[in-house]
Amino acid sequence: MLRFRPDAWRLLLVATLMLLVTGCVSRPTEEVLTPRVLGQPAHEVIVLAATNRKLRSKDDDPLGRRSDNLGFERYRFSVPANRPAASIIYPTVPADPRRQFIVTDHDDLTLSQFSAEVERTVDDDGTVGVFVHGYNYSHQEALFRTAQLGADARTLPPPILFSWPSQASLTGYVADKDEALASRTELTRLLVLIGRTQGVKHIVLFAHSMGSLLAIEAVRQLELEKQSSTTQKLDIVLAAADIDVDLFLSQLNDIGRLPRPITLLVSKEDKALGASSFLGRERPRVGTSDVDDARVVAAAEDHNLRLVDITGIEDNDGLGHDRYVNLAKSAGQIKRQYQPGTEASISPGVFVFDAVGHLLTRPSNAPRLP
């Protein structure tokens, strides 16, 4: 008779829950990254990517395993002009540019070529964005998601993708956590490279889910290595952060106080983080912080955090875990509210997004500790 360890049973139960919620959704293969020739792209988006995945295996290792070196890529996407915000439809054969995201060009880049591309990506005010994907993402899914974020935030340059070697498997949670932690040095290298690029004054480091653990570990490593010239440029945004709360507070103690508060996009109704907490023996995750809890509000102010409740934003995945993708369309408005030097850009506290993506400061009667 087969016997399962308690942890194995917990993992099996969580996987079953996730499958029941998400259903049988087909996932894109590597073929979606094959460039197609189009007469006229619907709307062109250029995505730069830095990755420590082993994309082209020369041995028996599966594709997607960790490489010892960073690789650099540039993709051109045709994105449908008239489509619902936050939606992605992968290409078929034949491709339909009126409905589908389609890769039209791809180049591997050298370090110097990548640096030149980054310099061309810098926004007018010296801002560059970096996106770190979460658990259970293939390289192609991460690239298409980055293209979606860039397409929806039309007034801003698309973020640069850092693609780490997720197993892209629902049951690969533990392996993904190991891969994320093992990728922090490569992410720090990318951030240092971008920080030294001419014209870069601010780096928006935007991470989702388990990618938040990777991002905050990279920032911690930069601080321990005394790379303050890079960390002083960072504006950190963690969406649905899959990080144990006690671990996060320990990381913040090592990082110290940064010039701008760390922004946490949170929701109590995130089922995926509920499953993660279950795997962690009911230890709460940062991404489910309750903005109505006076202790959470006080902790945000004490630790220089900006908590933003995004529960009112539309739920895309049935789990309440990918709400952040709907915020890209409001990126311009959010950026204006958080322009460097404004009170909002330097003030910790609690905020709320309403259903249409408008950022609201929490009323003055927000809970406080007695």
Task: Please check whether residue 241 is in contact with residue 285, taking contact to mean a CB–CB distance below 8 angstroms.
Answer: yes
pLDDT band at 342 (very low <50, low <70, confident <90, very high): low
pLDDT in tens, 119-160: 999 998 999 999 999 999 999 999 999 999 999 988 788 999
Q: Which residue has the tokens 């946490």?
A: 264
The whole-angstrom separation of Cα 332 and Cα 335 is 5
Structure tokens at 189: 């290298």
Cis peptide, bond prior to residue 97, ω within 30 of zero: no
pLDDT in tens, 58-115: 555 555 578 888 999 999 999 998 888 889 999 999 999 999 999 999 999 999 999 9
Please give the pLDDT value at position 8. Answer: 44
Q: Give this prediction's pTM.
A: 0.89
Domains of the chain: 36-361 (3.40.50)
Instruction: Give whichever of 243-247, 296-300, 340-344, 365-369 has the largest mean pLDDT.
Output: 243-247
**Average model confidence (pLDDT) across the chain:** 85
Please give the pLDDT value at position 343. Answer: 55
